[in-house]
Structure 1
Amino acid sequence: MTVTGADQDATGMTARRYWWWDRRRSVVLDVGLALVSALECALEGVGFAGDAGLPVPLGVVFGLVVGSALVLRRRWPIAVVLVSIAVTPAEMAFLMGIVSLYTLAASEVPRRITVVLAGMSFAGTLIVTFVRTHQDVANAADGDFRPGPWYVPLVSLFMSLGLTGPPVLYGLYIGARRRLMESLRERADSLERELSLLADRAEERAEWARTEERTRIAREMHDVVAHRVSLMVVHAAAIQAVALKDPAKAVKNAALVGDMGRQALTELREMLGVLRAGDAGNARERERQGSVASAVPLAAVGVAAAAAAAAEAEDGPCLADLEALVGQSRQAGMVVELSVEGDPVACGPLVEQTAYRVVQEALTNVHKHAAGAKTWVRLAHRGSEIAMQVENGPSDGGAADAGLPSGGNGLVGMRERVTALGGVFVSGPTDAGGFRVSAVLPARPRGVS
């Protein structure tokens, strides 16, 4: 026998089936009812054999066969009801008639069939009861009992309704209740599947938010560390070169190195402080909710909130700091020209920070790969856009190479920053042998205030 999903119980174990019965107690119940019905029909078959002029054993066997048909009530309820209707004139199978009508009404048989068969059973019972009661009244006419003309129809009606109505109504109630329970169970299963799907989606969003946060932290760490440390290495090399020849200049360069180191540490502390504050806020929110199920979506929201807070809420660099940024490169010996065009427009903090970081990383790349090259930094305000360009000429062959390592992530980070705000980023070598970095950012990107 092939085992399907319907043959498994709620625990996932394969449920044993007994022919058309799902459970053992159903087998016991139906077999017990069939035995009682067969015994009833066998006893009633004695009277039927006497009225029909048949041998008594034949009537008993007929009753046993008819009554045992009740064992098929779950498999073929219509057939069992038809058998009970067919033997109604023999005045037997009352138990089978009641149980079969209940089973038919509680089953998934179309309601019109149930109504037709219930009507046939009612009509058959009414006719047989009317005839038998009329005969009994006629036989008792010579006695003291003299009922009115209403007696026979009324008794026949009550008997028919009593044997047909209650089992049908109770079967309809049980069937409706069973269907309601199955509907509720299916709805609960559907809700469980939806909750599982939502949990999976929340986990995906949380993983996406964590990935975005890791990428953002990597960009911030790269921008802060790479630029400051690059300048510190350049100044350290200058100190080493002039320490004996010009002590005053060496002291000045050493002071610059200290200032840049403190600035780098300050920016790192600010970044880590925002992240710690975001983690603490997420933990408090999870404690307030007090639900394990809410931990996953809260994690997604919390990490995303931490990323947004770190990117926007912190007091990061802005366009007004470009002059100081260019000044630091000049102090390191780079020849840099800064030009600003157009009237400044109001920009979001994330836009200004991105523009600053693009210029910062471009200058860092000049320090790394084009020592001694002349550099031009251009910033243009164009109404709803901000354009920036950092271009350097060919490297000065006489300049000392600081030996700064390169991980190849600078241009990737700049492109990610710009495209995330809906901007355009272009970079590449120039015809003169230098390198150019250009970016255009919308002053008010969608979804960013």
Structure 2
Amino acid sequence: MKDDWLSERHKRLLFLLCPVVLAVVDTIVSVGPMHASTLEVAIGLVGGVALLARRRTPVAVLLATVPGVYLGTGWFAAMAALYTVARLRSERRPLIACALLVAVAHYLPVPLERLGEVGWENLDAEDAVLVSLAPVALGRAVAMHAELATRLRELSESRAREHQLVARQVLATERARLGREMHDVVAHQVSLVSLQAGALRMSSTEPAVREAADAIRKLSVRTLEELRHMVGLLRAAGVGGGDLSPQPRLADLDRLIGECGSDIDADIDAAACRDCPDAVERAAFRIVQEALTNVRKHAPGAKVWVSLRCQGQQLCVEVRNGPACAGTEPLDLPSGGHGLIGLYERVHLLGGSFEATALADGGFLVSAILPTSAS
């Protein structure tokens, strides 16, 4: 790292001193044929040494080199100063004025010396224009190249930041989806355990069995509380790995309803389980699963009606329950608050409609309409 820093420092020092040395050499070389005086040589050398400050005050350095151009002892210093002005300044009028100043200073002595000669005026005019335009063109080209390189670097950094934001958004969406899947699956299974433990406690007369059933119910409640905490962590932090969630199908509804052990009247159209997109099947399964879980939580012992049928290009899912049975002890299960909201998000993303309303008889209705074909 230290060697690299010294190398870069040496490069900058070389870039700073090289034009100065060339300007001094140009002055010394041009003095011989001209038989210039000491003052003319000194003016040329001053213009060359002034190049040391060309990056700080480019216009002032250019003005210091103009006398050397006029006297013929410092044309390279003027070209270097004019290049620096064009490299650092983008204003058009000051740049044109500096170029014209150098061109006039370069051409002005010629007519006085060669007034009687024919053809020299045009050649020297072209030379004066070239001496002024070449540094300007080169300076602006280098400036534009540096500007384009800077914009390209900023564009690359912007695209990299955009890709990172997109990746974070995808990760956040996947975390939320995994959280909903975890909540749906585990909450359903644990609520079944708690329901069976409650039934065992009510039916058994042995104190040990009733005590064990109570312990199972408490452990179920604690498990769901831990689940809610884990879902919160899953939403807040990154999770690596592949897809960890199960992929249920509508064909699994019979097994799901059979596991519940409640009074459920199911009307499932067999044709609805065929030719449906995977996302629609998973959404329909989750709707039924979440609705049955809520029935066990809030209306244990209630009569439940499950309906699933196809109507044209739509899949209609409906889960309705009556009021809870009198004297039935409700399940004290915690809620993560993501159940119905997650169902609404699923159905909405699929382009369907979702409704969850309380009924006049004390029951509850969950219904959804899902499109079965891409629009």
TM-score (norm 2): 0.66
2:62·2:82 contact (CA, 8 Å) conserved in 1? yes
Q: In 2 relative to 1, CA 223–97 (structure 1 residues): closer, same or farther, beyond 3 Å? A: closer
Q: Secondary structure at the match of 2:143?
A: helix
Alignment of 1:30-429 (within 5 A): 44=36, 70=47, 74-75=58-59, 93-96=71-74, 99-100=77-78, 103-104=81-82, 107-108=85-86, 114=99, 118=103, 121-122=106-107, 124-126=109-111, 128-129=113-114, 131=116, 153=118, 156=120, 161=124, 165=127, 169=130, 172-242=133-203, 306=242, 316-329=247-260, 332=261, 334-340=262-268, 344=272, 346-429=275-358
**CA deviation profile, 1:47-81 (whole Å, cap 9, x unmatched):** xxxxxxxxxxxxx7xx6897688469952688679
**Structure 1 residue 373, shift from structure 2 partner:** 0.7
**Structure 1 residue 230, shift from structure 2 partner:** 1.4
How many angstroms apart in 2 are the aligned matches of 1:424 and 1:226? 24
How many angstroms apart in 1 are the aligned matches of 2:78 and 2:169? 61
1:223·1:360 contact (CA, 8 Å) conserved in 2? yes
How many angstroms apart in 2 are the aligned matches of 1:98 and 1:210? 61
Q: In 2 relative to 1, CA 204–66 (structure 1 residues): closer, same or farther, beyond 3 Å? A: closer
How many angstroms apart in 1 are the aligned matches of 2:175 and 2:43? 79
How many angstroms apart in 2 are the aligned matches of 1:82 and 1:171? 12
2:271·2:310 contact (CA, 8 Å) conserved in 1? yes
**Structure 1 residues 65-74 or 418-427, which shifts more?**
65-74
**Percent identity (aligned):** 29
How many angstroms apart in 1 are the aligned matches of 2:184 and 2:291? 10
Bigger radius of gyration, 1 or 2? 1
Question: Which amino acid counterpart does residue 263 of structure 2 have in structure 1?
Answer: V
**Structure 1 residues 390-399 or 183-192, which shifts more?**
183-192
**CA deviation profile, 1:84-116 (whole Å, cap 9, x unmatched):** 78xx7xxxx121456546755775465698479
Q: In 2 relative to 1, CA 95–396 (structure 1 residues): closer, same or farther, beyond 3 Å? A: same
Which stretches in structure 1 are left out of the alignment for 5+ residues? 1-10, 12-22, 47-59, 132-151, 251-256, 258-299
1:422·1:442 contact (CA, 8 Å) conserved in 2? yes
Question: Which amino acid counterpart does residue 256 of structure 2 have in structure 1?
Answer: L
How many angstroms apart in 2 are the aligned matches of 1:360 and 1:408? 15
Question: Which amino acid counterpart does residue 196 of structure 1 have in structure 2?
Answer: E
CA RMSD of aligned residues (A): 4.7
How many angstroms apart in 1 are the aligned matches of 2:60 and 2:332? 91
How many angstroms apart in 1 are the aligned matches of 2:168 and 2:324? 43
Higher relative contact order structure (alpha carbons within 8 Å, sequence separation ≥ 6): 2
**Structure 1 residues 104-113 or 229-238, which shifts more?**
104-113
Q: In 2 relative to 1, CA 119–170 (structure 1 residues): closer, same or farther, beyond 3 Å? A: closer
1:103·1:171 contact (CA, 8 Å) conserved in 2? no
Per the alignment, residue 369 of structure 2 pairs with 440
